[in-house]
Amino acid sequence: MLNVTTPELERPAHIGSASDTKVVAKDVNVYYGEKHALHNVSVNIPDRGVMAFIGPSGCGKSTFLRCINRMNDTIPICRVTGKITIDGEDIYDPSLDVVQLRARVGMVFQKPNPFPKSIYENVAYGPRIHGLAGSKAELDQIVQSSLERAALWKEVKDRLNDPGTGLSGGQQQRLCIARAVAVSPEVILMDEPCSALDPIATAKVEELIDELKKNFCIIIVTHSMQQAARVSQRTAFFHLGVLVEEGATNDIFTNPTDQRTQDYITGRFG
Amino acid sequence: MTTAKKSLLAGFMPWFGGQPSTGGTTEIARPKGEPMNEHIVKSYEEEFALLDRKIAQMGGLAEHILGQSFDALERRDPQLAEQVVKADKQIDQLERDIEEQVISMIARRQPLANDLRHVMAALRITGDLERIGDLAKNIAKRALAIAHESHPKPLMTGLRHMGELALSQLKDVLDAYAARNADRALSVWREDENIDSMYNSLFRELLTYMMEDPRNIGLSTHLLFGAKNIERVGDHTTNIAETIHFLVKGTNITDDRPKSDETSSTLFSKD
pLDDT in tens, A135-189: 999 999 999 999 998 889 999 999 999 999 999 999 999 999 999 999 999 999 9
Residues 6+ apart with CB under 8 A from B121: B243, B244, B246, B247
Residue B3: helix, strand or coil by DSSP? coil
Average pLDDT rounded to a whole number, residues A78-87? 95
Q: Among B138-152, B179-193, B214-228, whose mean pLDDT is lowest?
A: B138-152
Closest C-alpha to A104, from A176, A213, A186, A215: A186
Q: Which of A229, A255, A269 sits opposite B250 (nearest CB)?
A: A255
pLDDT reported for residue A97: 93
Of the candidates A240, A245, A246, the one whose C-alpha atom is nearest the C-alpha of residue A38 is A240
B17 pLDDT above the threshold of 60: no
Q: How far is A268 from chain B (nearest CA, A)?
A: 4
B28–A259 CB contact, under 8 Å: yes
For chain B, say whether A254 makes contact (Cβ under 8 Å): yes
Which pLDDT value is given to residue B253? Answer: 87
DSSP states along B145-193: HTTTSPPPHHHHHHHHHHHHHHHHHHHHHHHHHHHT-HHHHHHHHHHHH
pLDDT digits (tens, 9 = 90+) for B56-111: 999 999 999 999 999 999 888 999 999 999 999 999 999 999 999 999 999 999 99
Measure in Å the smallest separation between the Cα of B205 and chain A Cα atoms: 47
Residue A229 touches partner B, C-beta closer than 8 Å? yes
pLDDT of residue B100: 96
Q: What is the pLDDT of residue B152?
A: 83
- Tens of pLDDT, residue by residue over A190-211, are 999 998 888 988 998 999 999 9
Residue B269: the pLDDT is: 57
Q: What is the average pLDDT across B168-192?
A: 96
Percent of chain A with pLDDT over 70: 93
- pTM, full prediction: 0.80
pLDDT tens column, A15-26: 444 458 999 999
Determine the residue of chain B that is closest to A267 in CA distance.
B39
Predicted local distance difference test score (pLDDT) of residue B96: 97
Q: What is the mean pLDDT of chain A?
A: 90
CA angle at A53 for the pair A49 and A56, rounded to the nearest 5°: 165
- Using CA atoms, how far apart are residues A183 and A199, in angstroms rounded to an integer? 28
Q: Does A64 touch chain B (CB under 8 A)?
A: no
In the structure, what pLDDT confidence band is assigned to residue B153 with cuts at 50, 70 and 90?
A: confident
The Cα–Cα gap between B120 and B131 comes to 17
Q: Rounded CA gap, A10 and A145, in Å? A: 26
Predicted confidence at residue B177, as pLDDT, reads 97
So what's the ipTM on this one? 0.76
Q: Are the C-beta atoms of residues B240 and B169 closer than 8 Å to each other?
A: no
Rg (C-alpha) for chain A, rounded Å, is 19
Quote the pLDDT of residue B28: 60
Q: Which of A225, A258, A266 sits opposite B39 (nearest CB)?
A: A266
Which residues in B193-225 are b (16+ Cβ under 10 Å) and which e?
bbbbebbbebbebbeebbeeeeebeebbebbbe
